[in-house]
Amino acid sequence: MDRREPDEGELVSKRPLKAGAVVVTAALTLGVAACGGSESDSGPPTIKWYVFQEPSGAYNDAVKNCNEQAAGQYRIELVPLPTNADQQRELVVRRLAAEDKDIDVIGMDVIWTAEFGEAGWIREWTGADKAEVSQGTLAGPLRSGTYKDKLYAVPFTSNVQFLWYRKDRVPTPPKTWDEMLQMAEKLGKNGTIEVQAARYEGLTVWFNSLLASAGGQVIDDDGNVKLGEPAIKAATVMRDVARSPAADPNLSNSMEDNTRLAFQTGGPSFMVNWPYVYPSAKAEVPDIFKNMGVARYPAVDPNTPSRVTLGGINLGVSTHSRHPRQAIEAAKCLRSGPNQLIAAQKGGLPPTLEALYADKVIKDAYPGFSDLMKETIDDGVPRPSTPAYSDVSLAIQRTLHPPASIDPPKTIAKMADKVKVVAEGGLY
């Protein structure tokens, strides 16, 4: 099934809204009960789960399973959000800022953690609840739900990019970007490298993965902008790829599907992309698929494994929920092992529980690379952890685009200045 991350579209710059702001609009209805409407005192409490409507039906199955297991303690109702990540965020933020009690559990894009936690819109997971949801959960997804050393969102599904390559042309996949460039250039017209480099969120993902692989980060745990030598190394890789004869001529406009479709023509030999490209190729171009290999995302330093940017959905519990205890229990159930297996099998969404990677369902979903999936997600890194993430991402995109124009030291110095401004609440 053709499944992409819902957070890969272009981000729209929005300053984080403060809790208590009066921002109620007609858009808040979302086609469901009015904001803060009354709830019947009879019967079990209804726990409303606001989440994008996963097209395979896996989330609906999770709701059904949990309602059966709740045995009358609560009843979960899925409230569908738009598939566009910016629209999801805007609608949820407006409700939370208005202290709407209609939201109980939120299906959160992994980039929302810092903003929602800082604003006080979601509950911190503590004590026995934190211990329960942390036990057996891969470290990478836990990092994506953590802000200022506090767990605000529990991992449900994850996602991560890999290197996809042509086994008939490349017997041994490259371990680094430099090695891949050398291989690609030797292959000539069939050596094209496909990567997401349009001015949108995918460009931030590329830079963030290269930066983490080089040992750096955009913003450290204390909120300081840290764009030094590792960032220069990351920018150098981007420039070298963009200026190489192995670059796709459309590189500066390439997004996930551009690169997927280009790879499926049979011309390119290398592509970095999300796992959805694997079943897509199997269904659409079986002749290409039979020669399609997968390897760990290329490293920047040959002696240091790559660290790859995480996608996925975490679950947060609203601080304004009328039924916080039941909402916490509902969130635990929704992200339980059986429901993660369903999400992987039907929706192609990788699990966040380590033990599931030994399950036949996961091994069948990711044949031959389920262990690689687990390792890469476990090592995975979140995007810059800041309440101003949308503006930080835009600053990164605008500074790095087009990649062929990058002058590594000057570009990174400019980026550091811009990121510092927006991370401190200023305007780009």
Looking at the fold, whether 220 and 333 belong to one and the same domain comes out as: no
Please compute the mean of the pLDDT values over residues 80-95 and round it to a whole number.
91
Is-contact 101 320, C-beta < 8 A? Answer: yes
For residue 71, being part of any structural domain is answered with yes
Cα 142 from chain centre? 13
The pLDDT of residue 84 is 83
Q: Is the dihedral of CA 38, 39, 40, 41 positive or negative?
A: negative
In a shared domain, residues 283 and 324: no
Asked if residue 264 and residue 284 are part of one domain, the reply reads yes
406: enclosing H helix or E strand: none
Whether 6 maps to a domain, the answer reads no
Residue 2 has pLDDT above 50, yes or no: no
Question: Between β-strands 270-273 and 193-194, what pairing exists: parallel, antiparallel or unpaired?
Answer: parallel
Of 425 and 269, which is predicted with more confidence?
269
Q: Is there a domain that residue 79 lies in?
A: yes
Same domain, 170 and 217: yes
Query: Span 201-206, mean pLDDT?
Result: 96
Domain count, the chain: 2
Query: 192 and 249: one domain?
Result: yes
Indicate whether 418 and 329 sit together in one domain: no
Q: What is the pLDDT of residue 425?
A: 77
What confidence score (pLDDT) does residue 428 get? 59
Token pair 């996608």 is at which residue?
311
98 token code pair: 């208005």
pLDDT on residue 41 = 58
Answer yes or no: do 33 and 80 share one domain: yes
Residue 52 inside a domain? The answer is: yes
- Give residue-wise pLDDT tens across range 102-157: 999 999 999 999 999 999 999 999 999 999 999 999 999 999 999 999 999 999 99
Reply yes or no on whether the pLDDT at 25 is more than 80: no
Cis bond upstream, residue 44 (ω within 30): no
> What gap in Å lies between CA 415 and CA 69, rounded to an integer?
50
Number of Cβ within a 10 Å radius of residue 208: 24
pLDDT at 424 (0 to 100):
85
Q: What is the CATH number of the domain that holds 242?
A: 3.40.190.10
Q: Is the peptide bond before 141 cis (omega within 30 degrees of 0)?
A: no
* Geometric angle at alpha carbon 412, from 410 and 416, rounded to 5°: 120
State the Cα torsion 141-84-328-357 to the nearest 10°. -40
β-bridge pairing 162-166 and 311-317: unpaired
Choose the weakest-confidence range: 7-21, 82-96, 289-303: 7-21
Same domain, 243 and 299: yes
The answer to the question of residue 98 being in a domain is: yes
Tens of pLDDT, residues 154-191: 999 999 999 999 999 999 999 999 999 999 999 998 99
144, 389 Cβ separation under 8 angstroms: no
- Give pTM, 2 decimals: 0.90
Tokens of 392: 């930080």
| Residue corresponding to tokens 């993430």 | 389
User: pLDDT at position 43, please?
Assistant: 84
Mean pLDDT of 263-277: 96
Structure tokens at 107: 């299906």
Same domain, 316 and 417: no
> Does any domain span residue 334?
yes
Mean pLDDT of 219-245: 94
Query: Is the pLDDT reported for residue 10 higher than 80?
Result: no
Mean of pLDDT over the chain: 90
Q: CA torsion sign, 53 to 59 to 64 to 69?
A: negative
**Tens of pLDDT along 382-425?**
999 999 999 999 999 999 999 999 999 999 999 999 999 998 87
Question: Is 383 a domain residue?
Answer: no
Parent domain of 320: 26-159+310-378
Same domain, yes or no: 366 and 276: no
Domain boundary (342, 360, 378) is at 378
Task: Name the CA radius of gyration of the chain, rounded.
Answer: 21
Same domain assignment for residues 393 and 260: yes
Count H helices and E strands in the chain, helices first.
17, 11
235 and 296 housed in the same domain: yes
User: Is 331 among the domain residues?
Assistant: yes
pLDDT at 235: 98
